[in-house]
Amino acid sequence: MAKLETAFAEAMSRLEAPLTELDTKYLESLDNWMTAAQARGELEALVAGKKERETFRQPGERDYDAWPDLKRLREIYESTRERLSENISGDRRQIFETFHRELNSHVERLTRAGQLDEAVRLSQRAQQIEKLLAVEVVAKPPLGGDGKDEEVLWEFKSQASVDTIKDCGLKKVGDAYVIVSPRGGAGSYHNSRRTFKPPFRIQARVTTDSTNIRFYYNNNTLSIFNWEMNPRELRVHEPKTNRNMGFRDKGELERNKLHDIEIDVLDNEIKVKADRQRLVEVPADNTGLDGPVGIGPAFGSTLTLESMRVIQLK
């Protein structure tokens, strides 16, 4: 087991070496900036630099308008890290899958040999890796097709892309975002920082550990998958009036597995698809609306969001 863990750690270390090097160079640049700020006697700049150094791996909006050079350093770091992470995402998943297979093979061998304690321990480790696999980026074509001739209006790229409603939790894990409700109820979510008029399409690649993948538009509920009252029932709400409708055997998505969801908001209709399967087409009066889109959990669910964007429809 120790050799297997070591091989896994070494493979991940080699793969993530460009990210480690980027972090090192960023900290060096940050130190140089702080040295210059100290020479100028700029206390507030030094405090900001110290905080950035301590929290640079944490996502979220930074207010560095007072220090353009620091703001530019941060922007370059974020864009470079995002590009490097995308480049290695497929290989990351392969390493996790290989480790998962090896663990399961050892579990089977130990079970046959009657070494149950060790088999249970390795089985628990395999389950941990399986959960991590659920949030690893899968090399797939862009949501909804090949991406040609699509006008992307907005993307959930970072915490700076959204407004947080009712203290909804947000944490970056690998290349995905984990979204949790702080109070365990409903109504906590993350909203886009711009508004949209129909017609447009919401595309998301997301999973839940239990119930409630909730989408929002115009600050009202738009659609609910894995509804807590009846997970098999898909809920669709008319954003203008909040009129809600239920559709039997349309709303349950497999837990801890990423799903591609599309919601078209048209002037007079709402269309919902999951994993390229058409689920419902609902008449709805959306004329005149111009509001943000959002996503959130409810009643104890935890969402893992790999990607989300809004596309203009013609």
Q: Which residues of the chain have pLDDT under 50?
A: 137-148
User: What is the Cα–Cα distance from 195 to 3, expressed in whole angstroms?
Assistant: 52
Look at residue 3 in the predicted model and tell me its pLDDT: 83
156 neighbors 178 (Cβ within 8 angstroms): no
pLDDT tens-digit profile of 237-292?
Answer: 999 998 999 999 999 999 999 999 999 999 999 999 999 899 999 999 999 999 99
pLDDT score of 1: 67
| pLDDT value of residue 148 | 47
Which pLDDT does position 246 carry in this prediction? 95
Q: Note if the bond before 199 is cis, omega within 30 degrees.
A: yes
Query: Which residue segments constitute the domains of the chain, with CATH numbers given?
Result: 2-135 (no CATH), 152-312 (2.60.120.560)
pTM of the model: 0.57
CB 81: neighbour CB atoms within 10 A? 17
Instruction: For residue 154, count other CB atoms closer than 10 A to its CB.
Output: 20
Q: Is the distance from CB of 297 to CB of 177 less than 8 angstroms?
A: no
d(CA 259, CA 252): 11
C-alpha 170/C-alpha 174 separation (Å) is 13
* Helix residue ranges per DSSP H, the chain: 2-15, 17-39, 43-55, 68-112, 116-135
